[in-house]
Structures are given as C-alpha cells and as structure tokens.
Amino acid sequence: MINIVTTKFAFDRTTLPFRTDFSAAGTTWILSTNSLEVLRTVADWRVPRKQIPNKTLEMEIVVDGAPDNSRERKAHFRGVRHLVFAFISPRSFVAYDLARRRVHAVLSTTAAGDACFWKTLLIPITIGILGTTVGVVPLHCACLERNGRGLLVAGVSGAGKSTLAAAMALLGFRIISDDWTYVSKGETDLVAHGLLAPVKLLPDTVRFFSELRNFTPSTALNGELAYQIDPQSLGCEVGETSSPRAIFFLDRCSTGGCHLLPCPSEQVRTYFENSAERLPEEIPQAKAFRTEVIRTLAARPAWIVRSDASPQETARVIEDFLLEGDYATV
C-alpha cells in the first residue's frame, strides 16, 4: 500500500501576489505568480502594449520550491473538451483552460528562472494550445522575408523545411520563424509572428552546413536529437513579424533537380487545416477564426517545390524564382 500525500495549490490573488504583463507573437499575457524569479525571467518579453481583451490570455504560475513534489518525466500532453494538461520538463505541470483563455501552471524552481525554458517551451507551447482563442493561429510552417514580402515554407514533418529555411536565411532572407508561425489579422493584412526561437536542424544536416560542426546536438521536446541553433549565431538576420505574401510547400522527391508547380488554393487550405491540431466544439469562435485565417492565406499565390536538390540549391531556385518576379503574376 502507498500512503498518499496530497499537494494543493490554490491560484488566487492571495497566493499569487506578483503581477505583470508581457507580449509574445501578437498576444498579451497577464501574469500572476508567487515568484519574483518569474517576473525577472519574463522581463525580456515586456513590451508596453495596450491590452486588447480578446487577444489577452491570463497565466497564473505557482513556483513550487519543494524538490520532490514532481517526478522528472518526458513531455506529455492530453486534451479533453476545453481543457489541456501538459507535463513539461523540468518538473513542471501546466493546465490550459481554452474556454476562459487561462493557464494555471506549477513550475519547478529550475523552470521558473530558465529563460530558455520560457522561450523554447512554455511560451511556444502555450501559444500553440491557446493561440486560436486569442486571435493568433499557429501554423506548421517556417516564415522568411525578402524585400518586405513574407514567404511561408511548409511541408510535412521530416520534409526538410527547417533545413530549407536555414539555407534561405544563409542566402540573405530574414528569418521570422522556423517550425511554427503564428498568424494574426492585422489592420489591413495578415501578420505572421515568430518567437525568435532556435532553428531545429537534424544531425545529418551537418553535411549541408559545415557551420554546425561548432555546435552540439541536444534532445528536442519530441525526443529527437537535433541542433537547436539561434539563427543570429550563424550570421542570419532575424525578424519578429512579416506579412505573408506567398507560400511554398516542400515536397522531397526523387525527380531530379528542383521544380516549382502552382499549388491550388484548396490544397493550401487542406494542408493548413490538417497540419494543425483539431479544435474542440467548446470553442466555436476560435475554430471559425482559424478557418477564416486559413481561407485568407489560401488565396495567396502558392507553389509546390518538388526537389531532391541540396537545401542550398533549392533555396537558390526559390530566390531566382522570386527575383524573376514570376510569383507576382501567377
């Protein structure tokens, strides 16, 4: 028999006396916590911005200093109706309430003070789960920019879009995001947001980028071993937002070389609908908003990039295609 010791955390104004707000990927976060360390960690994200009610989420964080209260475990996510539960290393548990746009988290002391945890895990995961409820649609694609024009680079997991995005960034494109791009509706157009998160490159990409030899791969959230590189450390230019004007779908196949084919808008819509997590019926407005954003995107020019060429070569073909101005007239 095991004697149970329960641990209880109440989330209210008495237990969470410290408050601040900050911005990330077009959303505003109102944060309450019991920890000054958390306030220090999010200070870098603080951008004075007007709070817009339907773009604001509330996050309540208890930092639990008791070292044995939670076992270390692999990332684990489950959702049912409007609730999502997440175990995130190191030793942290987060509950998401999509109906009320609220997050309740018990963080370990290590997680609370780790800026990398916030930047690469907590904030992206939170926007990934709650984003559509606060007017930001997470889309499975990279975003780059050239001459003020945003380009989304999409493709199924393993297609090599991060590798292509890195090659394009090294070619001079400004990189906004790598694996996930967060799209909101601006005053006149869609806005693609990035989180300045590291680019994730699999170990075998070292054959394309000799620069990676100076780095060591680490285990990513999905358990994969990968280089997680700050693009700026490779000399790439990084941006926070862009306006997406065109979409490229990377299709790795053995056809010889690299060819661009027009992609019908219906296929663009299907890709983005199917590459995002299904949303529950409990948040109909969020579902409708995502559908609207994807429909708007699907009206943009789009191409399938069929390539078995190197990422650098593929990036150059795309660059040449853009320079020729073809995409403006298709």
Interacting residues toward other proteins by CB under 8 A: 1-12, 60, 62, 69-71, 73, 76-85, 87, 93, 95, 97, 99-100, 102, 104, 106, 155-156, 159, 249-253, 259, 261, 263, 267, 270-271, 273-278, 280, 304, 306
Residue 63 CB, nearest approach to other proteins (Å) = 13
Q: At what angle do helices 265-275 and 284-298 cross, to 10 degrees?
A: 140
| Contact between 197 and 171 (Cβ < 8 Å) | no
Q: What is the C-alpha to C-alpha distance for residues 177 and 312, in angstroms, rounded to an integer?
A: 18
Residue 304 CB, nearest approach to other proteins (Å) = 5
* Two structure tokens written together for 261: 């084919």
**Strand 302-307 with 244-252, pairing:** parallel
Residue 187 CB, nearest approach to other proteins (Å) = 30
Among candidates 195, 215, 200, 196, which has minimal Cα distance to 163? 200
Q: Which is nearer to other proteins, 162 or 241 (CB)?
A: 162
Residues present in the chain in total: 330
Residue 85 CB, nearest approach to other proteins (Å) = 4
**Strand 218-219 with 225-229, pairing:** antiparallel
Q: Which is nearer to other proteins, 69 or 312 (CB)?
A: 69
Residue 240 CB, nearest approach to other proteins (Å) = 27
Which residues have C-beta within 8 Å of that of residue 210, sequence separation ≥ 6?
A: none
Residue 2 CB, nearest approach to other proteins (Å) = 4
Is the peptide bond between 90 and the residue preceding it cis, with omega within 30 degrees of 0?
Answer: yes
* Two structure tokens written together for 33: 């916590």
Q: Which is nearer to other proteins, 5 or 329 (CB)?
A: 5
Q: Which is nearer to other proteins, 117 or 271 (CB)?
A: 271
Which residues have C-beta within 8 Å of that of residue 226, sequence separation ≥ 6?
A: 200, 201, 202, 203, 217, 218, 219, 220
Residue 200 CB, nearest approach to other proteins (Å) = 17
Q: Which is nearer to other proteins, 92 or 241 (CB)?
A: 92
SS3 for 110?
A: helix
Q: Which is nearer to other proteins, 108 or 241 (CB)?
A: 108
Angle, CA of 82, 84 and 88, to the nearest 5° = 165
Q: Which is nearer to other proteins, 80 or 187 (CB)?
A: 80
| Contact between 248 and 152 (Cβ < 8 Å) | yes
